[in-house]
Amino acid sequence: MKGKRFENMNGVRHGKVLKDLRQWRKERKEKIKDLSYVVPTCEQKEIDFLRSNREKTTITWIGHSTFLIQMGGFNLLTDPVWSERMGLERRLAPPGLRMQELPRIDAVLISHSHYDHMDMRTLRAFKDTPLYVPEGLSGKLRARGYAHVTELSWWGHVQLGGIELHFVPAQHWTRRTPFDINRSHWGGWVIQPATRTDVEREAVYFVGDSGYFPGFQRIGERFAIRYALMPIGAYEPEWFMSLQHVSPEQAIQAFIDVQAEEFIPMHYGAFRLADDTPREALDRLYAEWSRRELPIDKLRVLKHGETLIKS
């Protein structure tokens, strides 16, 4: 619908104004941060296996919110970003795989239109690849020459062969210019086999960007989630970020809400989008995981380029 603006559940709005942004920038200048920690790159990458694999479910972290997910013989990319800069900031760590190391990509899944998730410089390499995007984005992409675009609303889904792609809610917002605030939607993706058993949790839940919200429980009630790809970075200062980005502690609560079996952290370590550091995000994640006495083998902290292969 032309001119439509999208909203969060329960009418939650980002609500920050220029005054708040200035206050944040002032606070940032007063902080001393140690940025020496760099997320390591996996030394033994599964490139040959990933190129030949047509059976096993795998999850490879490229960096930030970019994953290669293999399921049911399909190769999927989430929010692909290979750019060396995000605005004025240089990348903190290189992508875990080079583009030429990827297998043939069958579909690209976009969570929302923010620049660190929908990077048009990277998307040029996938102009002939089917794109699955939130409601409100297909027209803009088709105008740029992307012919194979499928737009989904919250709770909508499509089937690719033997897998299903479900677009699910998140609490966030969108903007690429001063004139298109919330003109497209935002959300996450649940990827699952079209034929499922009652015995095993098999779905992969890619959260995208989100503040903590009741939708996590609803998603957990609808899907049998094995892996939750959960953001843990860009949360500081929390008075500014909390409605749009979960803190590490909230990410763990969201993981519990969705009843997932294994937690894979993301959205940290590639770009400096807020005041927290990759080391701080991980330290808080580990501390809260220990405080809650959760099984350590269910926390799967991947290196860039590392592949988790479902057993």
Taken in order of first residue, the domains within the chain and their CATH numbers are 39-309 (3.60.15.10)
Mean pLDDT to the nearest integer, 258-274: 97
Give strand pairing partners of 131.
108, 149
pLDDT band (50, 70, 90) for residue 199: low
Does residue 3 have a pLDDT over 80?
no
Mean pLDDT to the nearest integer, 3-15: 87
Mean pLDDT to the nearest integer, 47-63: 97
Asked if 113 and 176 touch (Cβ cutoff 8 Å), the reply is: yes
Q: CB-based contacts of 276: which residues, under 8 Å, 6+ apart?
A: 233, 234, 235, 236, 268
Residue 1's pLDDT is what? 44
Mean pLDDT to the nearest integer, 283-297: 98
Does residue 53 have a pLDDT over 50?
yes
Residue 236's pLDDT is what? 96
Q: Distance (Å, rounded) from C-alpha 99 to C-alpha 123?
A: 11
Does residue 16 have a pLDDT over 80?
no
Q: Distance (Å, rounded) from C-alpha 308 to C-alpha 311?
A: 9
Mean pLDDT to the nearest integer, 143-148: 95
Residue 2's pLDDT is what? 58
pLDDT above 70: percentage of residues in the chain: 99
Does residue 197 have a pLDDT over 80?
no
Q: Look at 169 and 28; give whichever has higher pLDDT.
A: 169
